[in-house]
Amino acid sequence: CYKLFEELGIPGPSPIPLFGNVAEFKDKSPLDVFKKWAGIYGNVYGFYEGFNPSMVVSDPDVIHHILVKDFDKFQDRPLCSPFVFYPMHLSLGVTKGELWKQQRHVVASGFSTLSIKQMLPNMLIKTESLMEKLEWKIREEPDGHNVTEILGRYMLDSLAYGAFNYNCDSLNNDDEILLKYVQQYNYAASTENPCSGLARLFPSLTPFCKLFTGKLRNALDKHVKQVMTFLEKEKLVISRSDEESKHGNLIQSLLTTKATCHDENNNIYKRYLSDEEIVAQVASMVGGGIGPDSALMSFLVYNLAIHQDVQQKVMEEINLYIKDSEDVTYDTLYKLNYLDMVINETFRVFPVAPGVARTCVEDTVINGTQFKAGTVIRIMACVMYADDSIFPEPEKFIPERFSRSECEKRHPFTSLPFGLGPRGCVGKRLGLMQCKLAVVHILRKYQILQTNQTEVPLQTVLKPVLSPKNGIHVRLIPRENSGFC
């Protein structure tokens, strides 16, 4: 059963019976293993996760084919977590083929510019709560503290209230149903979780491993019940209100947008998503969106603390466009080009999503390499980010690499923080807006400094997105006292 790659003439490490090549990852950063293998086997090679063949790709031309040109042959995604409970099998990240296409159209329409602009007022309310929380924390620990937990909880509150009108306060309440669910969701997919590791390696053991997921199921059940009540509430709002207010949040958009479908004779018809499908989308967007959102925010704060010159430039740009709080609009946030470059460079240095995955659904040949149906394809963007022929001096933090002129010199498929193509991240603009909103508020009030507890270099862990292993320790000092405006 370990003959596939040999027969196809695809290079890769030699597997050992039962485990394939996973032993190589023991006690190492998976990112380092993929970088090492790329150095030995090149930009397209194969390895075995247990018995399962996976192809690893970090060649931008081949990636372009997989994500866009030959999308129909690679449109499905393998499961990110082996534990999928009702109704999550209906969520966008999991569904396949025709059902995915129908849902994607509906979900994507909830992320239009107009919809995102409508989410901003609720997010601003949560940003005020963040600022209050930070002020309190600074009074308690004036010499610096770990900001990761606070930032993560803020991102959750802001996402839930902005996108779903779901007013949760995880910043101040450890027992928030949503917070408990997100913690369990992340743990279930984390590489630190031995149970999910075992189920990934030996899928036939998944039913056994599921016996140990009581906490996840419990947290999911409570979350699903809560989302159901929000759904009923939004249905009432829709039945009462005029057309104008119908797209006030993502749940309303999911309730009122129709999917285009084809029957067995290829006739077109339209349908609304079922309640189960809507609940699955909300639950998975909260669970799946918040991990990368929070990790990005922490890494960004870290980079601003370590690179004071970069922080100064971001501040100058903010001062240029945002004079007072009324200027914090979708349009002004959009103008912060230098901040965009800093975010892109943060994604490169700390690849929150080190790669994206697809399943090959039909045999195909790309640039002379054969891809067999059923094979998992791991597009490891992190390998390109560390390649000095693409990003010279990759160990340095240089936001200017992402200026428009520099980007035009590179292959567009060398930077994939949100994936790309028809199955790329649907929440990209929302995630970026949340992050910019928080950075603008923090920087207008505080200078971010590193402390003697700030890790250099920073240790990271995959859980399931790349995150700071021990959090981010920084000191915030009010700008009026810092002499730095």
**Three-state SS at 175:** coil
Q: Which of 15/351 has CB closer to ligand HEM?
A: 351
At closest approach, how far in Å is the CB of 104 from ligand HEM? 5
**Residue 33 and residue 23: Cα distance in Å, rounded?**
11
- Letter for the amino acid at 381? A
SS3 162: helix
What are the start-end ranges of the H helices in 327-468? 330-335, 337-349, 381-385, 404-409, 428-445
CB of 99 to ligand HEM, least distance (A): 11
Tell me whether residue 118 or residue 447 sits nearer to ligand HEM (CB atom): 118
b/e burial code for range 446-473 (CB count within 10 A of at least 16 → b):
bbbbbeeebeeebebebbbbbbbeebbb
How far is it, in rounded angstroms, from Cα 222 to Cα 228?
A: 10
The beta-strand segments (E) located in 24-88 are 44-49, 52-57
Residue 366's beta-bridge partner residues? 369
Binding site listing for heme: 425
Q: Which is nearer to ligand HEM, 336 or 356 (CB)?
A: 356
CA proximity to 298, closest of 145, 80, 482 = 145
Q: Which residue has the tokens 């028809």?
A: 422
Tokens of 332: 């002004």
Is residue 266 left, alpha or beta, with left meaning phi > 0 and alpha meaning psi from -120 to 50?
Answer: left
Pick the closer one to ligand HEM by CB: 53 or 93.
93
Provide the minimum distance between the beta carbon of 484 and ligand HEM in the complex, in angstroms, as a whole number.
27
Binding site: what residues are annotated? Answer: 425
Q: Which is nearer to ligand HEM, 44 or 160 (CB)?
A: 160
Angle (CA) 382-385-387 rounded to 5° is: 115
Shortest Å, Cβ 447 to ligand HEM:
24
Our CB check for ligand HEM shows the closer of 104 and 445 to be 104
Minimum CB distance to ligand HEM, residue 315 (Å): 22
Task: Name the residues that contact ligand HEM, by CB under 6 A.
Answer: 77, 92-93, 104, 159, 163, 285, 288-289, 292-293, 296, 352-353, 356, 417-419, 423-427, 430-431
- Shortest reach from residue 94's CB to ligand HEM, in Å: 8
Closest CA to 120 of 443, 445, 436: 436
Give the nearest distance from C-beta 312 to ligand HEM in angstroms.
Answer: 24
Nearest to 142 by CA among 478, 455, 416, 374: 478
**Of 248 and 292, which CB lies nearer to ligand HEM in the complex structure?**
292
